[in-house]
Structure 1
Amino acid sequence: MGGNFMRKVEDRPTPPEVYNWKIYLVAAVASAGAATIGYDSAFIGGTMALPAFRKDMGFDTMGKTEVNLISANIVSCYQAGAFFGAFGAYPAGHFLGRRIGLIIFALLFMLGAGIMLATDSDSGLGFLYGGRVVAGLAVGAISNLIPIYLAEISPPAIRGRLVGMWEIGWQSGGLVGFWINYGLTQHMAPSRQQWIIPFAVQLIPGGLLAIGAFFLPETPRWLLSAGRREKAIETLCFLRGLPKDHPYLLTEVQMTDDALEHLKRTIGIKFSGPFKEVYQNRKIAYRFFLGGALFFWQNGSGINAINYYSPTVFRSIGITGTSTGLLTTGIFGCLKTFFTFVWIMVMIDQFGRRKLLMIGALGGSLSLWVVGGYIAVAKPQNNPSGTLSGGGIAAMVFFYIYTIFYTPSWSGTPWVVNSEMFDQNVRTLAQAFAAGNNWFWNFIVARFTPQMFAQMQYGVWFFFASLQLLSIPFVYFLLPETKSVPLESMDLLFDRSLKPRKAHKHVMLQVQENGEHMQADIMESMGSKGQATQVEQLPAKQMQV
């Protein structure tokens, strides 16, 4: 039974060399950029809760409504920048490539992080707002480019695992962000230095991405689409650990050639092509809708309300004191990180995307109903106490159960699905649209969470629990399983004539049969010529799937 957990569902016979250390190392380096996003989502709420920050920014002299408004503005201006950055990455990814785009936006992020460091009690919030907008532009672009990069370098059988490393980077950054404020409260006296350190730490993941991106190879799919065939084949040989005359590599190049040739005959490979295709092709537009909707449901789970305003959230359950609240937040971060590793190593490429999303939504929803029910009955904010009651402890347990269900389902899976469900020529635009949706709904949550807790109280928990329940029929009836399906075969998977819940089985049978035949034909061709077929000489013919 244990061996089945690591079993790979392959689209065609695959040599073991393909699953080599280099592909994992390249994915890990690229995924380091996600730490910039995860860190911000985790540290900012705790930093704003530090007494020293509140004093220096004048929060102590403001009313609660004004503090809530300013806090929401500080958090949400980052998401607003990220929304526009997600779309700004499209021309960079199209014309310059995924790698150069990552270098540019990593440097932009470091500029934004540096601007934030000029914030102090005399200058007020101007530098903080400006720096967060600039950094937001950068992370919006990064959230577009990294999942695409990972999907395009991945063998189909482990694509979920490699794209999932993006989530590992995100949660690793989040873990540091959740704990850094607790550590500072324990070991530093309240001062500007205490609260400026968390802002300075942002430079570390930004620098790692900027340096790492210089050494990353460009994706073979982008190189082929840009006409740089020799470099594309050289890169593919490096990533797969195979010589250029190996049948597996010949087949992969042939499949990519076929897909690109089909695109050239239909919508073309120009910058404007994807826009025309979305406008004219209802099938592609429908996929855009599905991809964007996944991020609506993800943010509807309530996770970003918790990430950005964790001290406020835990206070509503009855956790009192800055230090205790930050400790509770740190435990939350540990759970998220641990179950992200479980998700990437065991779940995403074994259980598939659909099952994880539906099970995660059901378990998370039930947990939040319990948390909201406790708050509605016990009203802990109206009855402050130095210790949690038995009901309060139960509520915290169910909150952590919610975290356990959410993390290996809705946290990273929408990014995986969006990175793999589109054609080469619309993939960058589609990822921009998906990332833009993520940041739009992220902005809505970040901007209005303080007001929601102030006005709705326990109703906030019921609101997010209800949205999670509603996401289950959406996934069941509309979203097909994308696990192990080659990127070049996604058109068939999303054919509207197939029922989404049955499409995967139908497509994989055809893909496996076609892949085996194509690989056998190439091997036969090699044998008949008595020498290795050079991959540069392969003719382009449309793959019949």
Structure 2
Amino acid sequence: MAMSTRVYNWYIALVAAMCMVLYGYDASVFNAAQGSANWLLWFDLDLPALTPLDTKKKDANLIGLVNTAYTIGAIVAGWFFGGPIADYFGRRVGMALGCFVTIIATFLQAFAPWHNLGCFIGGRVLIGIGQGMALTAGPIYIGEVSPPEIRGKIMTFWQMFYSVGSFIAYWIAYATNQYKERLGHWDWRMVVIFQLLVPTLILILLPFQPESPRWWIKRHNNVEAARKALRTIRATEQEVEDELLAIREAIEFENEAVSGSYYALFKDPSVRKRMYLAFVLNVGQQLSGQGTLNSYSSAIYKTIWADDSTINLINALNATCGILFTLNAMWTADRFGRRWLLIVGAIGMAICMMIVPIVGATTPNVVGADGKLTKTQPVGISIVFLLFLFIFFYKPSWGATVWIWTAEVFSMNVRAQAVGMCSQMQNVANTIFQQFFPIFLANEGLKCLFFFMTSNILLAAFTFFFIPETKQVPLEEIDTLFGGQNHVEKGGQMLGVPDAHHAEVGEEAAEAQQKETSKEITEV
């Protein structure tokens, strides 16, 4: 029984984690689409600029607007209605609605009329809105259904599925590029339309898994529905009743002593502290250099390889390695802790960002086939290796662990809204960096990476001095790490419970679980 509930726990959490595939796919799909001459022709756009500051390409800013449209939708959804939807209608509805909007938006992009870029941009905005909702509800659901001892392992897959999305997008782009003459305008349409695959699968699976037990109590005070949900994902009746009691105690305290509304975001000093720390961590995820390099690594590769097929292959291999590298968080997040991963990851990324510009500055330039100065292929390969090594350090640390930490540190009364706001700080930061990095890259070349080296050193120091360890701490007791009160113990006093951490389990409850288990086995 213990094994079957644990496996089912993993299954429902992984269905929710698949929402991150939407983000990873979209982060790569536009870069792949704009590399298609057919896409540019369909929307009557100039060829891409050879350098980020090529003023002869009058449509460069317009193409940049298409990319920015996504972040606008995501920020609006994450800050203003992703949290309320997940809180009012449920975590599953938040994920499902986000997936549904993504499907509608995919059709708008894939079948935008001839020369109608506005329709494509509208689809990009809707994609951002849909993902803003799904990326708010998804990590909350995973954190609320996962037991503390494996919460870090399960949340690792949240970041890994980002790499899965990139993996699918880049390999499809690579395959369609090989047959672009035969496919015509379908070369970019196929890359876009495959975005339907994962959200459709999520929509099919979500109705058949339980809602978060914490949501049942917080929204409807429905203890029986919460108990039924917990019995499908916890091994014993004692575990079910203990967790149920802890949830009730924490929510009772939050409603009576703090605030049952989002007002606690500003009223409770410990919640404000968590907001500030989570803001820095999520902005730091972009300051590390990963988001910017994900958009502009191709521009760096183009200085070495003129063949688009080679660059597409490198990007596809990068996404493939990203999946493997993220798995390192599975055995480190709950063993060594979140702080250890963040500090080691930042130091490793800083070293990579120091070596890459040194290699670029100390190796000679050669005249390429087009008459321009470039690097030799051995130098190019060494730079690619270092950027892959950067991903090795980034994925399990500032990739996976930032999401783990953000999703688990907030109390139930503000969790959905706080996670939505904090996670979208990634897009706020990325939008700002996307504006100045092309100029930085054009003026300084690879020396601009020293900026990211410095940022990562500062992020390691920030983590060491300000970020508390949260591994294996129950969600309802995490407030104590930030100077807040223990919501379980205080809530237990309000409810008049003799032992705030352990519930009494009678024979009737044990019998009820046995019957429920027998029923599930029969149905299966």
Which TM bucket (shorter chain)?
A: 0.7 to 0.9
Residue 409 of structure 2 is aligned to residue 421 of structure 1: yes
Contact persistence 2:139–2:158 (CA under 8 A): yes
Shift of 1:196: 1.4
Residue 86 of structure 2 is aligned to residue 99 of structure 1: no
**Alignment RMSD:** 2.7
Change beyond 3 A, Cα 1:457–1:339: same
Contact persistence 2:365–2:376 (CA under 8 A): no
Change beyond 3 A, Cα 1:521–1:459: closer
Equivalent in 208, 214, 219 of residue 221 of structure 1: 214
Change beyond 3 A, Cα 1:521–1:495: closer
Equivalent in 66, 72, 75 of residue 83 of structure 1: 75
Offset from partner CA, 1:217-266 (integer Å, 9 cap, x none): 11000101121211111011012144xxx222211111111101111211
* 2:478 paired residue number: 490
* 2:521 paired residue number: none
d(CA) in 2 for partners of 1:452, 1:48: 22
- Give the stretch that moved more between structures: 381-390 or 214-223: 381-390
Contact persistence 1:17–1:240 (CA under 8 A): no
Offset from partner CA, 1:158-212 (integer Å, 9 cap, x none): 1111222222222111111122211111133162111111111111122122222
Counterpart residue identity of residue 435, structure 1: S
* 2:201 paired residue number: 208
Residue 218 of structure 2 is aligned to residue 233 of structure 1: no
Equivalent in 45, 64, 71 of residue 31 of structure 2: 45
Counterpart residue identity of residue 342, structure 2: L
Equivalent in 23, 46, 56 of residue 9 of structure 2: 23
* 1:127 paired residue number: 119
Counterpart residue identity of residue 356, structure 2: V
d(CA) in 2 for partners of 1:25, 1:530: 30
d(CA) in 1 for partners of 2:426, 2:387: 23
Offset from partner CA, 1:33-81 (integer Å, 9 cap, x none): 1111100112221221223323444444686333432232121210111
* 1:325 paired residue number: 311
Residue 284 of structure 2 is aligned to residue 297 of structure 1: yes
Change beyond 3 A, Cα 1:456–1:206: farther
- Give the stretch that moved more between structures: 418-427 or 176-185: 176-185
d(CA) in 2 for partners of 1:492, 1:22: 31
Equivalent in 245, 249, 260 of residue 254 of structure 1: 245
Contact persistence 1:44–1:308 (CA under 8 A): no
Pairwise mapping of residues 18-417 of structure 1 onto structure 2 (< 5 A)? 20-60=6-46, 64-65=54-55, 66-87=58-79, 88-119=81-112, 122-189=114-181, 191-226=184-219, 227-242=221-236, 246-269=237-260, 273-274=261-262, 276-316=263-303, 318-344=304-330, 346-378=331-363, 388-417=376-405
- Give the stretch that moved more between structures: 284-293 or 374-383: 374-383
d(CA) in 2 for partners of 1:452, 1:58: 28
Counterpart residue identity of residue 202, structure 1: Q
Counterpart residue identity of residue 320, structure 1: A
Offset from partner CA, 1:89-139 (integer Å, 9 cap, x none): 11101211111122222111111111112335x323111111000110110
d(CA) in 2 for partners of 1:532, 1:61: 68
Shift of 1:380: 5.5
Shift of 1:152: 0.4
Contact persistence 2:366–2:374 (CA under 8 A): no
Q: Which runs of 5+ in 1 are unaligned?
A: 1-14, 498-506, 511-516, 537-545
Counterpart residue identity of residue 311, structure 1: S
Change beyond 3 A, Cα 1:130–1:419: same
- Give the stretch that moved more between structures: 77-86 or 63-72: 63-72
Contact persistence 2:210–2:229 (CA under 8 A): yes
Contact persistence 2:339–2:468 (CA under 8 A): yes
Shift of 1:148: 0.3
Counterpart residue identity of residue 42, structure 1: S
Change beyond 3 A, Cα 1:150–1:443: same
Shift of 1:343: 2.1
Secondary structure, aligned partner of 1:404: helix
Residue 472 of structure 2 is aligned to residue 478 of structure 1: no
* 1:4 paired residue number: none
Q: Normalized against structure 1, the TM-score is what? A: 0.84
Shift of 1:496: 8.0
Contact persistence 1:79–1:439 (CA under 8 A): yes
Counterpart residue identity of residue 326, structure 2: T
Equivalent in 456, 465, 477 of residue 444 of structure 2: 456
Contact persistence 2:218–2:251 (CA under 8 A): yes
Counterpart residue identity of residue 408, structure 2: E
Secondary structure, aligned partner of 1:201: helix
* 2:518 paired residue number: none
Change beyond 3 A, Cα 1:187–1:409: same
Contact persistence 1:374–1:395 (CA under 8 A): yes
d(CA) in 1 for partners of 2:366, 2:76: 38
Contact persistence 1:320–1:385 (CA under 8 A): no
- Give the stretch that moved more between structures: 187-196 or 215-224: 187-196
Counterpart residue identity of residue 73, structure 1: L
Counterpart residue identity of residue 342, structure 1: N
Offset from partner CA, 1:327-353 (integer Å, 9 cap, x none): 111111111011112323x12221211
Counterpart residue identity of residue 367, structure 1: C
Offset from partner CA, 1:381-418 (integer Å, 9 cap, x none): 97558984433322222111111111111111111101
Change beyond 3 A, Cα 1:191–1:424: same
d(CA) in 2 for partners of 1:404, 1:530: 51
* 2:428 paired residue number: 440
Change beyond 3 A, Cα 1:74–1:180: same
